[in-house]
Structure 1
Amino acid sequence: MTVTSIAAFAAAAAAEAVYVSPTAPTFLGSIPTGAGADVHIYQDSDGSLSSTCTGCGEYAWTLLVTPEFAQEHAAACLRPPRRLAA
């Protein structure tokens, strides 16, 4: 009978584990705000959505973000596009 310690088993499993970095989010589109900024919508490899606003800078991510969430933000954001750093 062969006896393997839990520590030895865990070390062997860790040696076999390979880190795979997530893929970059897929750009789905933009929704313009009333002040001339845009809300950009992205889909992550897990299917979740995220959005960023070029006006106020808000970044939103959750499993509950929907295109409607981004539309609501675009309708409510009154900040013009932020200037890019020089």
Structure 2
Amino acid sequence: MTATVTSIAAFAAAAAADTVSPPAPMFLGSIPTGAGADVHVYQDSDGSLSSDCTGCGEYAWTLLVTPEFAQEHAAICLRTPRARAA
């Protein structure tokens, strides 16, 4: 009987080649805040929604996030848009 030995690095490389990245979330739109920032709303491949705020930086994801949730955050967020990282 002959044993086959595969290095961990070779196994990891083969596994990485077989890995498929999930699709990027689909951008649904932006909701402006009163301070000039935006709440961006996305739909993930599983149908869930997520949102992030360019003002306060809040990121929300849950199966229960709804467009109304993002609208409520946009209505109460008073932070101006944050500067982008260089």
Q: For this structure pair, what is the TM-score category when the shorter chain's length is used for normalisation?
A: 0.7 to 0.9
Equivalent residue letter for 2:69? F
The runs of at least 4 aligned residues of structure 1 exceeding 6 Å deviation read: none
- Identical-pair percentage: 86
In 2, the alpha carbon distance for the partners of 1:23 and 1:83 equals 28
Aligned length: 70
Please report the TM-score for the alignment, with normalisation by the length of structure 2.
0.77
> Which residue is 1:20 aligned to?
20
Q: 1:39: Cα distance to partner?
A: 0.1
Counterparts of residues 5-84 of structure 1 (less than 5 Å): 19-84=19-84
The root-mean-square deviation of aligned C-alpha atoms, in Å, is 1.4
What displacement does 1:72 show? Answer: 0.2
Cα deviation digits, residues 26-67 of structure 1 (max 9, x gap) = 000000000000000000000000000000000000000000
Q: Give 2:4's aligned residue.
A: none
- Structure 2: 5+ residue stretches without partners: 1-14
Shift, 1:84, TM fit: 1.2
Q: TM-score, normalized by length of structure 1?
A: 0.77
